[in-house]
Structure 1
Amino acid sequence: MTVTRHYVLSAGGTGGHVIPAYALAKELISRGHVVAFVTDDRGAKIPGLPDGVSTHILPAGRVSGGPKGWLSAARSIWAGRKMARNLYKNFEPTAVVGFGGYPALPALLAAFAENIPTIIHEQNAVLGRVNRLSARKVNAIATAYPNVQRLADKHQKKVHLVGNPVREEVLELRDQNFPPFLEEGIFRVLVTGGSQGASILSDIVPDGLSMLPLNLKRRLQVIQQCREEDIERVRDTYRSHNIPATLATYLPDLPEKIGWAHLVIARAGASTIAELSCAGRPAIFVPLPTAMDDHQRYNVAEMVDAGGATSINQAAFTPKQLAKQMQKMAMGPEALENAARRAWKCGRPFAVRELADLVESFGTAPMTKPMKITNNKNPSFGASPAMAKEVSS
């Protein structure tokens, strides 16, 4: 018999923080629990929140801009903490889970004040700022990678490796065969730079593909995500190289495209890496050099070390270098499939289940009493295997 518990999930206003929170919310609801979501204005606009989850928007200033900015941020954080404590009095959460980003901080501070068990989840291979600030006082730290930078040794006993939750459509790819890659068959390449594409990929990839040996180039079929301002220029470049390419500013069926691909060229966001490793797709990553704490450079380490991907620093990302790395990964029919198996080995398909197990291990169910929150999406805060065979050597 499931004992219903109440959980608060808090996440900053970017998809990288919010989407894993949504995945956990869905899993906890499926186990019979009640979930409230705390975020900021940006986070509340990100689609995908499961039905029945109440959303609470609180102030959470970004700590930047010198002394004046710090003071303003402190005031916002303190106001958010007070609002979160009011929510907890009504909602009586069993535990509070933070997914990073500044909006998660007031929710965690309120939980510390109320002696409510806390868990943080870190999506990247570098512990984010809010998670670093919270690490000392939380009960558990869930990580997506076995090696996480900026995580103090004294906190290692709290660490639980669970991975990053991925979409069900991607998990379905895990038990499917790698698409046949024959010496005379089509060579399918997927290029994606995130929700809005990446101009550096538009600048480099078409010319890089044109430099491949003829036996690879003539077999190419490309799907590429581009920024709207780049798409016609990129289309003209592919046309000039006589390379068939389908271009789009958004790929709503990205899991299907991942399943279609033999090779993916992408940025190194945590969600992208989690999906490619779960699906078992080899990749060439170009880490975003301006990512906070250079975390994308560290995100790629596990998959690269396993032999399932290669990484090219943006400063060294030239058409010639891309063509060179692609040749290495596609030298023969078995090379890409072998890399795919190695990528598959890095996948953590049970991430959301293991994270939910961890969250359920803390605290007890609240006393039964009438709920004082609503099920509106934005109420005011006061309203209450095919790939499983051994990797070849």
Structure 2
Amino acid sequence: MTVNQRPRHFVLAAGGTGGHMVPAAALAAELTRRGHRVALVSDERGVRFPGLFEGIQTHVLPAGRFTGGPLGWAKATRSMWRGRMMARELYRTFKPAAVIGFGGYPALPALLAAFANRIPTAVHEQNAVLGRVNRLVARRVDAIATSSEPTERLASGLLAKTHLVGNPVREAVLALRARPYPLLEEDGIFRVLVTGGSQGASILSQVVPDGLAMLPVTFRRRLQVTHQARIEDIDAVRAQYAEHHIPAELATYLPDMPEQLAWAHLVIARAGASTIAELTAAGRPAILVPLPGATDDHQTVNAREITRAGGARTIRQGDFTAVELAKQMQKLGLDPAALQNAAGRARSCGRPNAASDLADLVESLDAPVSRLPVGRPSKPKVQFA
């Protein structure tokens, strides 16, 4: 075992949504496979995220969101300070070789503690727009890993330490690259996967059943739908599909997402970073409806590459009606050759080595852990803006 291959400890810090947790879990799996030990820092949602971090040491640190005016900012600052102190205590025993942030406010205390203890740091940006927390710490971290090129809101002065690696996905999703696009015969079953990501999407529940009902009867009879819906929407959506006589399986969460992707001929989805990464890893054509309220409109930017490549069609939420969906479905679904071509174009946008490349970058941060200071910690120098 060479010096660079020796086992080390790494802390991964991520917000509790799927967009942050999935790539963190993929990196954790790759680092563990290489013989390293990994700890996760997140919020209550993150450490309980199903199916991602079994066997990984997890920690919940307090972290506030800087919203709500002066009172909210003061409360968030106190939470961040407490989280930073707790992270420093963790580092005294765990002794990480590096701390890697994946965005979201729960990642911030861990990074602030790493700065204070002079531990090497990196951030990974899943979206095509650099997120708020990653922008906040970008000048202080040792490396910035991005998922797309270009990445908006990334200062040109930071490009020297920026590395394009892609957005890691679970190995089960990556394995779909070796499987062919599912056979689609002109009169065979047409499988549709509808997903709003880990948070669900009510607009998909409101529009998709009626849009599918508008398809020509010969096409509609071929449909088989799996639809992930919010718990408050699921009964109404189930009733809509039943009314339209469209076979549909409904769930609030899809633990078998890789298998759902494997058999899907078409995906109707939001344009979150993990969704785009999985579509391009597996090579699945999509109709994308970016979340209009996403910070910096990042979902619209996320969808650009796969849409320009011809692997997806993007519809603004304001234009996403049953009529428009039926129109786009017919353009895609009535020509099996065109749909398979779109699948190939989606696949061409994938970066299948993302987890390995990110792990290489993380290992390259290796440096002896500094002697941790004793006594009262100094005030962090990060400016909240």
Q: Same fold (TM over 0.5)?
A: yes
Counterpart Cα distance in 1 of 2:342 and 2:218: 20
Q: Residues 109 and 236 of structure 1: is their aligned pair in 2 closer, same or farther, counting only changes over 3 Å? A: closer
Secondary structure (helix, strand or coil) at the match of 1:224 reads strand
Alignment partner of 2:44 out of 41, 46, 50: 41
Secondary structure (helix, strand or coil) at the match of 1:56 reads strand
- 1:14 is aligned to 2:17: yes
Alignment partner of 2:252 out of 249, 254, 279: 249
Deviation at 1:50, TM superposition (A): 4.2
Q: Residues 341 and 133 of structure 1: is their aligned pair in 2 closer, same or farther, counting only changes over 3 Å? A: same
Deviates further, 67-76 or 134-143? 67-76
CA deviations over 1:235-268 (Å, ceiling 9, x no partner) = 3333333333233333222211111111111111
CA deviations over 1:72-94 (Å, ceiling 9, x no partner) = 21222222222322332333221
Question: Which residue does the alignment assign to 1:239?
Answer: 242
Alignment map for 1:46-195 (pairs within 5 Å): 46-48=49-51, 50=53, 52-195=55-198
Structure 2 runs not aligned, ≥5 long: 371-385
Counterpart Cα distance in 2 of 1:245 and 1:46: 26
CA deviations over 1:188-209 (Å, ceiling 9, x no partner) = 2111122353221121111111
- 1:218 is aligned to 2:221: yes
CA deviations over 1:320-368 (Å, ceiling 9, x no partner) = 111111122234220100000000111122211111000001123559x
Counterpart Cα distance in 1 of 2:161 and 2:32: 25
Alignment partner of 2:356 out of 326, 330, 353: 353
8 Å contact kept, 2:23–2:170? no
The AA in structure 1 aligned to 2:253 is Y
Counterpart Cα distance in 2 of 1:84 and 1:324: 52
Alignment partner of 2:333 out of 310, 321, 330: 330
8 Å contact kept, 1:3–1:365? no
Question: Which residue does the alignment assign to 1:390?
Answer: none
Instruction: Provide the identity percentage.
Output: 65
Alignment partner of 2:274 out of 258, 271, 275: 271
Deviation at 1:104, TM superposition (A): 1.1
Counterpart Cα distance in 1 of 2:311 and 2:336: 15
Deviation at 1:283, TM superposition (A): 0.2
The AA in structure 2 aligned to 1:144 is S
- 1:340 is aligned to 2:343: yes
Alignment map for 1:287-326 (pairs within 5 Å): 287-326=290-329
Question: Which residue does the alignment assign to 1:26?
Answer: 29
Equivalenced residue count is 367
Secondary structure (helix, strand or coil) at the match of 2:105 reads coil
What TM-score do the two structures reach when normalised by structure 2?
0.90
Deviates further, 219-228 or 146-155? 219-228
Q: Residues 18 and 236 of structure 1: is their aligned pair in 2 closer, same or farther, counting only changes over 3 Å? A: closer
Q: C-alpha root-mean-square deviation of aligned residues, in Å? A: 1.9
Secondary structure (helix, strand or coil) at the match of 2:59 reads strand
The AA in structure 1 aligned to 2:77 is A
Counterpart Cα distance in 2 of 1:282 and 1:217: 19
Question: Which residue does the alignment assign to 2:284?
Answer: 281
Deviation at 1:142, TM superposition (A): 0.7
Counterpart Cα distance in 2 of 1:117 and 1:342: 38
8 Å contact kept, 1:223–1:247? yes
Alignment partner of 1:199 out of 185, 192, 202: 202
Structure 1 runs not aligned, ≥5 long: 368-393
Counterpart Cα distance in 2 of 1:82 and 1:133: 19
Deviation at 1:9, TM superposition (A): 1.3
Q: Residues 70 and 366 of structure 1: is their aligned pair in 2 closer, same or farther, counting only changes over 3 Å? A: closer
Secondary structure (helix, strand or coil) at the match of 1:190 reads strand
Deviation at 1:128, TM superposition (A): 1.0
- 1:363 is aligned to 2:366: yes
Deviation at 1:51, TM superposition (A): 5.1
Counterpart Cα distance in 2 of 1:275 and 1:3: 31
Secondary structure (helix, strand or coil) at the match of 1:103 reads helix
Q: Residues 140 and 237 of structure 1: is their aligned pair in 2 closer, same or farther, counting only changes over 3 Å? A: same
Deviates further, 195-204 or 310-319? 195-204
Counterpart Cα distance in 2 of 1:157 and 1:228: 45
